[in-house]
Amino acid sequence: MKKIKGWALGICILMFLAIVLTGCSVKASEEENKQQEITVFAAASLTESMEEIVNQFEKENPHVKVNLHLAGSSQLRVQIEQGVKADLFLSANKKHYDALKNKDFVLEGKHFLSNSMVVMFPKNNPAKIKTLKDIEKTCKLIVAQEEVPAGQYARQIIHSLAGELGKKYEEKVLANVVSNENNVKQVVNKVVLGEGDAGIVYKSDITKNIKDKVNIVEIPVEHNVEAAYWMAVVKDSKENKDVQEFYEFLLKEGQGIFEKYGFEKIH
pLDDT in tens, 61-91: 999 999 999 999 999 999 999 999 999 999 9
pLDDT of residue 7: 55
Instruction: Give residue 83's Cα distance to chain centre.
Output: 19
pLDDT of residue 3 exceeding 80: no
Mean confidence (pLDDT) of the chain = 90
**Closest among 54, 67, 96, 94 to 79, alpha carbons compared:** 96
Q: Hey, how many other C-beta atoms are within 10 angstroms of the C-beta on 90?
A: 24
The predicted-structure confidence for 216-264, as pLDDT tens digits, reads as follows 999 999 999 999 999 999 999 989 999 999 999 999 999 999 999 999 8
pLDDT of residue 33 exceeding 80: no
Q: Are 73 and 42 in contact (CB under 8 A)?
A: no
pLDDT of residue 11 exceeding 70: no
The predicted-structure confidence for 173-185, as pLDDT tens digits, reads as follows 999 999 999 999 9
Sheet holding 36-43, edge to edge: 64-71, 36-43, 88-91, 227-233, 110-115, 264-265
Query: What structural domains does the chain harbor?
Result: 34-114+228-265 (3.40.190.10), 117-218 (3.40.190.10)
Least confident of 25-29, 50-54, 159-163: 25-29
pLDDT of residue 132: 97
pLDDT of residue 266: 78
pLDDT of residue 34: 72
pLDDT of residue 26: 44
pLDDT of residue 92 exceeding 90: yes
Q: Are 47 and 71 in contact (CB under 8 A)?
A: no
Question: In which band, very low, low, confident or very high, does the pLDDT at 28 lie, cut at 50, 70 and 90?
Answer: very low
Three-state DSSP at 179 gives: strand
pLDDT of residue 182: 94
Q: Letter for the amino acid at 180? A: N
Percentage above 90 pLDDT, the chain:
84
pLDDT of residue 100 exceeding 70: yes
Least confident of 25-34, 49-58, 254-263: 25-34
